[in-house]
Structure 1
Amino acid sequence: MSDKTKKIAYWFFTLWLSLGMVSTAIVQLIKLPEEVEKINALGYPTYFLTLLGIWKLLGVIAVLVPKFVLLKEWAYAGFFFAMSGAAISHIVCGHGFGEIFPSVLLLVLTTISWYLRPENRRTKP
């Protein structure tokens, strides 16, 4: 894959990830009744919506803003843990694919964005 193609792919997946995280963060922060019902059905307290919403917004800022490479790694890790935890929670509760898919999609977007990130957005070994 050429550098240009990789850069375009990185921004495509990163912006898609960011849109998904921001949109779900807003829904969580305004505590739509459906979202409150879902989080409670998973066995989590309602205040988790506020925590997740704030963390997602901060994570998107960290991923999109230049520099702060170590912070980006933490943001990607947070996205990975949050989305894998959400997917597993839905699976354990016996929810169908329609409930599991959004978490898995954001998990895949997180992984692809992290993998394709340019050199200047990576930690030095």
Structure 2
Amino acid sequence: MKSNKIIFRICLAVFSIAIIGSIVNSIINYETVVTTFENLGYPVYLIHLLGVAQSLGLILLLVNKDQYLVEWVYAAFFLNFILGCFAHLAVESANGASAVVCIVILLVTYVQSKKVREYSGESTTSIKPNFTN
């Protein structure tokens, strides 16, 4: 169990550094990021929304209080990286590799968080409504 928790914390730390690096890069190299977004066909205002969403998602992952919200955060990050890969492939840009690396780290973090929660006795199943009444 200790190894699962260590792997989870290391992968979460690496993932956090990648997300923080992405946010800081968007602030420092704003003109370059604007050019990249325009080349990919995205509107420029998404840079700010993406930065805020990534910040909130990272905070929710690090706090890790409500399992329901954490599941949605993992799904949102996964969609963000998948759509980023597809956007880079669509315009034949070779910069989609970082998103693939982040997807792998995200998936390892997700699987390890499930194992850590199962071992600690926290319920990972959601309450299903009973519609038979």
The TM-score with structure 1 as length reference comes to: 0.89
Conserved? CA contact 2:85–2:100, under 8 Å: yes
- C-alpha separation in 1, matches of 2:89 and 2:101: 15
What is the match of residue 56 of structure 1?
A: 54
TM superposition shift of 1:45? 0.6
Structure 1 pair 102–122 and aligned structure 2 pair: CA distance change class (3 A): farther
Residue-pair matches, total: 121
Q: Check if 1:72 corresponds to 2:73.
A: no
Alignment gaps of 5+ in structure 1: none
Conserved? CA contact 1:29–1:50, under 8 Å: no
Over 4 Å off, 4+ runs: none
Conserved? CA contact 1:90–1:100, under 8 Å: yes
Structure whose CA Rg is larger: 2
Range with bigger deviation, 75-84 or 25-34: 25-34
Conserved? CA contact 1:63–1:75, under 8 Å: yes
What is the match of residue 83 of structure 2?
A: 85
- C-alpha separation in 1, matches of 2:71 and 2:44: 28
Alignment gaps of 5+ in structure 2: 127-133
- What RMSD in Å do the two structures reach over aligned CA positions? 1.7
Q: Which of the residues 105, 111, 122 maps onto 2:101?
A: 105
- C-alpha separation in 2, matches of 1:24 and 1:32: 11
Deviations 1:38-78 (Å, cap 9, x if unpaired)? 11100001111011111100010000103111111111111
What is the match of residue 42 of structure 1?
A: 40
